[in-house]
Amino acid sequence: MSRPRIVIVGAGFAGYRTARTLSRLTRNKADITLLNPTDYFLYLPLLPQVAAGILEPRRVTVSLAGTLRHVRLVLGEADDIDLDARTVHYSDPEGGVGTLTYDRLVLAAGSVNKLLPIPGVAEHAHGFRGLPEALYLRDHVTRQVELAAGGEDPKSCGARCTFVVVGAGYTGTEVAAHGQLFTDALVRRQPLREGMRPRWILLDIAKRVMPEMDEKLSRTADRVLRQRGVDVRMGTSVKEATPTGVLLSDGEFVDTRTLVWCVGVRPDPLAESLGLPMERGRLLVEPTLHVPGRPEVFACGDAAAVPDLTKPGEYTPMTAQHAWRQGKVAGHNVAASLGRGEPKPYRHSDLGFVVDLGGVKAAANPLGIPLSGPVAGAVTRGYHLAAMPGNRIRVAADWLLDAVLPRQGVQLGLVRSWSVPLDTASPELARMPGGPEKAGAEKGRGTPERPEQREARTAPDRAGVSGGPGAARKQEAPAKPGPAAVPGALEEPHAAPVPGASDHSRSAPEQHPPAKPGPTAVPGAPENPKPAPSRSPAPDDPQKPAKGSEGDS
């Protein structure tokens, strides 16, 4: 008898927990494949501390291959799922394509940045859903403070030291709280002009900070933010974004070079592309997490609308707590469908929330007990250490070092503005020069191009029948060349990169784009890699941002 084949799409909170549970329950008697764009699980709740320079980036990443025994990792993004043929078509990081066949499928693709049809936001704002975005924000904030410290124009210096965060939910609140402490630490070493101080503005259309959470937590967070100097403006949002600032809904124009978009998330568009019953972009599932009419398909996390058995008629919110617990139930029920145990419904009990506000300040309500101040800070960090599936000692060591040593306010120059656009379905991946275009207005993911289709498409070009001797030269030139990314240079928002240019080059007299630009322009990559189909989310209609995300805890 052949071994059952289990494919898990996504390694966020839900997907990682599913894989770990199945690895334990199946005892190496099933072929478990985990499809994910990166080789790590990202612990999203600590991402603001990466942006603030408290934690090194690898501290919040947990190796998939190193922690998931008997699980095969396949690097790639799912482009299309054929439910009838039971296949998952995917594209790998270098543009190749592949197909996975399954007997059981677990869809845990997670979520992406939520867009609203506000002029200029997609071009000038940056999200906060992945490690590249956190690294970019840390470098960008450091650069703005450094440029302001050495600048002569007071207006320009003021704009550079003004940072606008849109969305006062869990993520936006922590970004603003940690950001104010980070910039204050930077200016202590590089003083600004007399009377000038970094200014953080937190905006939300809601009436209070963290409206989806307990009111006592909200008041505590609001008080800490205001005491720290954060300009908290409730009932206010962005009407338009420009390269030099943002126009607010109350008519005020704020000069700034930084707009951080934390208004919420929406489910990954892969779920919607399946053509199955949906609930506000989430795949409808039974309490046992299997898809109605498809007993071999399960869904959990942000991609699934899971009935909340504690609140009849409602669905569980998109939070890390739910995704983590649903992953365990999904793993158990997949194993049960293979004859190992009995299925059980997903039922949860609220354990409370924790919000790290930087320093020794936090807001927490474990088991419904409201806490604030240093006690809440200790509980919050203790919770994160207990919840992380790895790197606990390294994270604790970074916290200790941050308490006794000054932070290192330096730019690494690893992530440029154009490589982390807001309008992307892959926030966990930084865009590469000459790489596949992952942004756009399409909701779903296209079907991958097969090798024989690629061969037929590229054959005429190789034969030179589409333009004679000059065709090769024309093919080599980029369609819309942009300025080369030079470390330390003043950025133009979303300037188009020169394919093949290095972020570490300095105004070289010649820029030689690759003859046949591939998705990542990686030496040794296939000459004719397939451009990955767009799976980027379309801008949402103006509405209240989604509550929580898989980064909430």
**pLDDT digit string (tens) for 437-454?**
544 333 344 444 444 444
Q: 């600590």: which residue's tokens?
A: 46
Better-scored residue on pLDDT, 530 or 243: 243
The residue whose two tokens read 């006062």 is 168
Higher pLDDT, 288 or 427: 288
Largest Cα–Cα distance of the chain, in whole Å? 77
Contact criterion met (CB below 8 Å) for 207 and 197: no
End-to-end CA gap in the chain: 42
Residues 68-127 pLDDT 10s? 999 999 999 999 999 999 999 999 999 899 999 999 999 999 888 888 899 999 999 999
Label residue 502 by pLDDT band (50, 70, 90).
very low
With b meaning 16 or more CB within 10 Å and e meaning fewer, what string describes 174-197?
A: bbbbbbbbbbebbbeeeebeeeee
The pLDDT value recorded for residue 389 is 94
Higher pLDDT, 498 or 429: 429
- Please give the structure tokens belonging to residue 297: 């398909």
CA-to-CA distance for 357 and 49, rounded, in angstroms? 10
The stretch 540-552 carries a mean pLDDT of 43
pLDDT confidence of residue 524: 41
CB 382 within 8 A of CB 395: no
The C-alpha R_g of the chain, in whole angstroms, comes to: 24
Tokens linked to 287: 């309490």
Question: Which residues, other chains included, contact 402 with Cβ-Cβ below 8 Å and sequence gap of 6+?
Answer: 54
Distance CA 503, CA 521 (A): 13
Higher confidence at residue 456 or residue 285? Answer: 285
List the strands of the sheet with 278-279, edge to edge: 278-279, 282-284, 304-305
Amino acid at 263: V
Looking at residue 37, its pLDDT comes to 95
Q: Are 211 and 234 in contact (CB under 8 A)?
A: no
Tell whether the model's pLDDT for residue 270 goes beyond 80.
Answer: yes
* Angle, CA 208 vertex, CA 424 and CA 238 arms, to 5°: 45
pLDDT in tens, 297-325: 999 999 999 999 998 899 999 999 999 99
Helix (H) or strand (E) segment spanning residue 506: none
Residue 212's pLDDT is what? 83
The answer, yes or no, to whether residue 522 has pLDDT greater than 50, is: no
**Model confidence at 15: pLDDT above 50:** yes
Q: Two tokens at 500? A: 């093949």
The Cα angle at residue 172 between residues 166 and 174, in degrees rounded to 5? 150
Residue 5 or 508, more confident: 5
pLDDT for 187 equals 92
Q: Distances from the Cα of 291 to the Cαs of 275, 283, 299, 334, in angstroms?
A: 12, 8, 7, 12
Write down the pLDDT at residue 194: 79
What per-residue confidence (pLDDT) applies to 1?
Answer: 58
Least confident among 21-25, 29-33, 231-235, 440-444: 440-444
Q: How far apart are CA 525 and CA 516, in angstroms?
A: 11
Specify the DSSP element, H or E, that contains 129: none
Question: What is the rounded distance in angstroms from the CA atom of residue 71 to the CA atom of residue 26?
Answer: 11
Distance of CA 321 to the CA centre of its chain: 17
Quick one: DSSP state of residue 417?
G
Confidence of residue 424 (pLDDT cuts 50, 70, 90): confident
Measured in whole angstroms, the distance separating CA 28 from the mean position of its chain's CA atoms is 32
Average pLDDT over every residue of 499-506 = 37
Could you tell me the pLDDT band of residue 136, with boundaries at 50, 70 and 90?
very high
pLDDT computed for residue 300 by the predictor: 97
Q: Is the dihedral of CA 251, 254, 258, 262 positive or negative?
A: negative
Q: Express each pLDDT in 160-192 by its tens digit.
A: 999 999 999 999 999 999 999 999 999 998 888
Contacts of 35 (CB under 8 A, 6+ apart): 7, 8, 9, 10, 74, 76, 77, 78, 88, 90, 100
Q: Dihedrals φ, ψ of 178, to 5°? A: -70, -35
Helix (H) or strand (E) holding 73: strand 71-75
pLDDT score, position 429: 85
3-state secondary structure at position 366:
helix
Q: Are 129 and 146 in contact (CB under 8 A)?
A: no
Spatial CB neighbours of 523, under 8 Å, sequence gap ≥ 6:
none
Task: Name the pLDDT band for 214 (thresholds 50, 70, 90).
Answer: confident
DSSP designation for 4: P
> What does the mean pLDDT of the chain come to?
82
Average pLDDT over residues 484-500: 37
Per the CB < 8 A criterion, the answer to whether 418 and 503 are in contact is no
